[in-house]
Structure 1
Amino acid sequence: MIGRWQPGPFGGIDVPDASKSRGPEHRVAALTLAALLVVGAAMGTINLFVNGVLRDGAPRWLYAATMGLCIVAAVPLAVRRRASRWHTFGLVLLGDLIYLVIVFCIEDPVRYATPLMLLFPAFVAAWFLGVWELLVNMVVTTVVCLVALWPSYDSAVALGVQVGVSAGMLNAGALGIFILRVRIQRLLMATQTLSHLDPLTGLHNRRYLVEQAPRLWRQARRDGTRVAAMVLDLDHFKRLNDAHGHAAGDAVLRAVAGSLTATVRPADVLARTGGEELVVLGLVGDPDEAARLAERLRSAVSASRTDDGHAVTASIGIALTRPVDGEDATDALWRLVDRADAAMYEAKQQGRDRVASMWVPRARSPLPGENRAVPEAPASDVA
């Protein structure tokens, strides 16, 4: 997971299929479909008790069975509270078929079964399905209108006009809802994306860093790896701003962000937490792997240049942790970042443009004739 937003289709923003969503919105969609099926069946059942609407004999029983089928189709939606893409597409086509059954059971379809009844499947397809499913349903809607209205018109011209008006209005309404849905989704995704991005560098921000902590902690516990936090602070950045202006400082930040984005691993999280400080979170197997990554980051910063030739170096602090069950990932994240921040200040004190770590203890030089090994750091919290 790199630290910069990458543009997608539809004007730079990916538009997800509404039927693929998970969570509360998905449950609401399934319950809404179930409710519409039940309400439609209840309203249609009224015709069973109105004289002169339904044909006598088998059509009446077929009509009653169709209304019952609507209720049966609603039960899995209400119980499971989820509707897959293909499930929803099947319900849309079922709605088209049910309209045809109703037409054949009604004495006067033009009066009691107008094509407006197809609004339900048309609007469901527009709001919950993808482009090609919507196009398929638009074709099916036109065919269904033709079949339903055929017996009621002797003139081909009159039939064509009525089919064109009915199917055209239904498809135009469905297309308008689909365009509105795409627009709303684009705006929501743009808002969500901007809430996770630093506007100057395009890197992720503190909010995104916090949101990714539970995922990293779960993966580390599952894989038996460690979470590494690397805090980078640009050296003498204030001096650069004072000497060349804030525009030069902003250009340096953007150049550094580009270099770091190209250097971090795809699964790492790179974020700007404020000012000239950046944080990289990633999973590592041992301290040496973290040190190698930090050194690559340090080299990437020192090699970055603006168009005007301005450059900076970075002091980097590293801290590692082994996540344990039951701990709060957000609290653990900031404890880890605080340790990495302390290590970063150690790198500043050692001369800047270098990497310092929390797990390597500083030891005095051995006395003449003394053979003393450097003690290992504890493996419990910070390794």
Structure 2
Amino acid sequence: MRAEPSTEFHRIRRLPPYVFAEVNRLKAEARARGEDIIDLGMGNPDSGAPPHVVAKLIEAVQDPRTHRYSVSKGIPGLRRAVAAYYDRRFGVGLDPETEICVTLGSKEGLANLASAITSPGDVILVPNPSYPIHQFGFVIAGAAVRSIPHQPGEEMLRALHRAVIHSVPKPTALIVNFPSNPTALTTTLDFYRELVAFARREGIYIISDLAYAEIYFGDTPPPSVLAVPGAKEVTVEFTSMSKTYSMAGWRIGFAAGNPKLIAALARMKSYLDYGAFAPIQIASVAALNGPQDCVAEVRALYRERRDVLLRGLAAAGWHLPTPEASMFAWAPIPERFASLGSLGFAKLLLEKAKVAVSPGVGFGEHGDGHVRIALVENTHRIRQACRSIRAFLQGTNAPERAEAEPAAQGVEDAA
């Protein structure tokens, strides 16, 4: 009799069920029935990349030489463009050769860095709730993840101090993400100064995710932690072209900062990929070095959608904190539906209002009191969604009891 191979793979066992899959399944079934679902779940930009960037891609792809293998750490021209961006935007000087590595989006970069620097059992400090790859990139690499508060300030700093005292072994790295996905929280350079001082004192790396640096709505642009003197001694920062230039499907991003961490990431990537398709890298140079009116237009687009959403939901009796950055609103579940949890409430919104959102538990158990709403439909559709939600909320009594829902995260984010 032949024995069947085991399906209990170690790393897969450490990954809980994909919590967004249930909502995605129900959404697909509803659409198959012909229902009009307004999808405010996945953070997938609905506007195209800037015309001059697309034109450069088309021009580059016509050259057969660009069809060959590229360079895993990125073409020199793109690394120079990233350095120029950091200098222009943050006043941070970077060496394109040793302090920048191009990635296949920030998600790939974060996961590969986790594999490069993590030994089984290492302790990594991650905000909860947080973008799932922040936690699961390290879980896949064998680390033990310890949750810290997600809001910047004294509570987070106190939690970091406690973690150093009580974690065995001592933490290797901590993750920060401001502007935050999913919470849309921002922070200041003063907070980063305290964070860098802590990390340098304790010998802990900072891994910063700055993907939403250009999607902000106030007068003060979000800072980079690398702008703090001495930060490069302990910090690497990831960002991408996805949201700033609406290039999500192009899968291009970059890491910048500490030369040792950049070298580790580049070495790991040299074994795993040959770099992004060269025409995409060439078009990314055009995006970073070219006119930036398109970035201001994207920012204005999301601000308008944010304001329409907040007004519409307020009219429905659902009052949300005003996000100061990102393309998301982090919405507390209305009190009378709190017993459902975020997955149950998201399923109810889909069923009754025909609006899809992301359950907060997918970003960590401490997100279970919220849903994330993405500003990825035009204002007409957002108004339509708000009217549907209003009709649902004003015509619905509180549920008699909570539904039993799994409180599991997913390894992949709803972007």
TM-score range, shorter chain: under 0.3
Which of the two has higher C-alpha Rg? 1
TM-score, normalised to structure 2, is 0.19
TM-score, normalised to structure 1, is 0.20
**Higher RCO, 1 or 2 (CA under 8 Å, sep at least 6)?**
2
More helix by share: 1
